[in-house]
Amino acid sequence: MGSCCGEDKDFDGASIEYRRALWWVIGINAVMFFIEMGASFHATSQALQADALDFLGDTATYTLSLLVIGRSLTIRNRAALFKAVSLLLMGIAVFSMTVYRVLVLQPPEAVTMGTVGVLALTANVISVLILLRFRNGDANVRSVWLCSRNDAIGNVAVILAAAGVWQSQSAWPDLIVAAIMASLFIWSAVQILRQVQHSDSNINGSGHTS
């Protein structure tokens, strides 16, 4: 079995190691939400705000993942479905805020953006390394990995946006990165929804829910 190393696609997270990993990642995300949200207002950065919302969403959804470990496959799929819908709504919200900010092109504060972006990237790389051995599994487990991976990618984008803002003295790099992050949220939601749909089809085909 691959449950101890996270390579089994049916792995449901029911291991002490995975629970411990989730607790660490939940703590990291909760702390970074408060740090980055405060910094986003200080720097008037849409990209930082999008990343902060991502930290908040991850804190909530990782906690949900922890709560459904060991439950039936149907319940785990419903949890993954909730996370997919949350990602979808978050992507739409970030897109909407970005469109609004296009009308008010105030350049964000690049130094704060870059500094907090590096801090967030460090936090997410640590989270990714903690979860690396659990990157495969059922829809619930895989959704955690996808969120963590996307966060690290998003942080690199924020740092690049900060450099672009500093170089151009324009808000456009910040807004473009925010739009890209929103697209990534939506794409991840689609991936999770597809896996949930496939898992639900298997449940219906086999006639059981565990």
Residue 9 lies in a domain: no
Query: For 35-51, how does the pLDDT look when each residue is reduced to its tens digit (9 = 90+)?
Result: 999 998 888 887 888 78
List the structure tokens of 81: 């479905």
Instruction: Evaluate whether residue 8 is within a structural domain.
Output: no
Residue range 55-77, pLDDT digits in tens: 888 888 888 878 877 777 778 77
Has residue 163 been placed in a domain?
yes
- Examine residue 1 and state whether it is found in any structural domain, yes or no: no
Name the H helices within the chain.
16-43, 46-67, 73-102, 110-131, 139-168, 172-206
Does residue 80 belong to any structural domain of this protein? yes
d(CA 50, CA 56): 10
Report the domain count for the chain.
1
Return the CATH number at 119: 1.20.1510
Q: Does residue 209 lie within any of the structural domains?
A: no
Residue 154 domain flag: yes
pTM score of the predicted model? 0.72
2 pLDDT higher than 60: no
Rounded CA gap, 191 and 194, in Å? Answer: 5
Q: What is the pLDDT of residue 122?
A: 93
Structure tokens at 149: 């991976």
**Structural domain boundaries, residue 96:** 16-204
Does residue 199 belong to any structural domain of this protein?
yes
